Structure 1
Amino acid sequence: MKKSYIFGIIVIAAAIMMIVSTAGDASSYVTFKDAHDMAVEGNDNKIHVVGQLKKNTAGEIVGLHPSDDKLSFTFLMVDENGMEQEVFYNEPMPADFKRSEQVVVIGGFQQGMFVADKILMKCPSKYQEETVI
């Protein structure tokens, strides 16, 4: 067997091992109900929950409570099924958090509250077309 064939087999085997090892760390998109059920079953994998910040009729965020030292905060989020859940984030509030249209929180349930390790935001685009009257 040629050395190039052996080298190619080793490279392919290494690539397959990397794919398999990272597939176990991949998190999935679920609702708050599914995330809660997973936590009750003992599954502590990091998961993604997609939703929007709960806002009142004036467009203000409801349930936003920064800590006294401004190093963490809690907020209410509504997932795609309409379930409302309090989310805790142990980092300072990201810039433009209040302007975000959609939020993805990555984390899991701990003691009845969703604890986010990371927050991804979709902010309104300045490139969206506006209707001209």
Structure 2
Amino acid sequence: MKKSYIFGIVIIAAAITMIISTAGDASSYVSFSEAQEMSENGSDNMIHVVGTLKKDESGHIIGLKAAQNKLSFSFIMVDQNGLEQLVYYNEPMPADFTKSEQVVVIGAYKNGQFIADKILMKCPSKYQEDTVV
């Protein structure tokens, strides 16, 4: 057998091994109720919840509270099923957090509270074209 064939087989085997090992880390978006159920069943996986920030009529975020040292904050998020949940984030507030249209929190329930390890934001694009009439 040629060395190039052996090398190709080794590369393919390495690629398959990498795909299988990372498949366990993949997760999908769930609601807060599903996330809580997963936590109660003993799941240690990071959970992705997508939703929006709870805002009043004037557009101000309801329940946004920063710690005195500004190194952590909490906010109320509404998932796609309409369930509200207080989310804690132990990092400083990201830039443009208050302008975000949609938020994805990645974390887990601990002691009945959702603790986010990461926050991903979808902010309104400044490059969107305004409709011209």
TM over 0.5: yes
**Alignment-derived partner of residue 79 in structure 2:** 79
* Residue 121 of structure 1: aligned partner: 121
Calculate the TM-score normalised by the size of structure 1. Answer: 0.96
**SS of 1:119 mapped into structure 2:** strand
Same amino acid, percent of matched pairs: 69
SS in structure 2 of the partner of residue 55 of structure 1: coil
Please give the alpha-carbon distance, in whole angstroms, between the structure 2 residues aligned to 1:4 and 1:47. Answer: 43
Written as runs of structure 1 = structure 2, the 5 A alignment for 1:1-133 is 1-132=1-132
Letter in 2 for 1:50: V
Moved over 4 A (4+): none
* Structure 2 Cα separation of the partners of residues 119 and 131 of structure 1: 31
Aligned length: 133
Counterpart Cα distance in 2 of 1:119 and 1:29: 13
SS in 2 for 1:105: strand
5+ residue gaps, structure 2: none
Per-residue CA deviation, residues 35-66 of structure 1 (Å, 9 max, x unaligned), is 00000000010111110000011110000010
Give the AA of the match of 1:38.
Answer: M
Structure 1 residues 125, 4: closer, same or farther in 2, change over 3 A?
Answer: same
Q: In angstroms, what is the RMSD of aligned CA positions?
A: 1.0
Instruction: Give the Cα–Cα distance (whole angstroms) in 1 for the partners of residues 25 and 131 of structure 2.
Output: 44
SS of the residue corresponding to residue 34 of structure 1 reads helix
| Deviation by residue 1:59-118 (Cα, 9 ceiling, x = unmatched) | 100000101110000000000010000000000000000010000001111111111100
Q: Give, as a single letter, the amino acid of the residue that structure 1 aligns with 2:127.
A: Y
Deviation at 1:132, TM superposition (A): 4.4
**Which letter maps to 1:22?**
T
- One-letter amino acid matched to 1:114: F
Instruction: Give ranges in structure 1 of 5+ residues lacking alignment.
Output: none
Residue 131 of structure 1: CA displacement?
3.5
Aligned mates of 1:67, 1:102 — CA distance in 2: 23
Q: TM-score, normalised by structure 2?
A: 0.96
Displacement of 1:25 after TM fit? 1.3
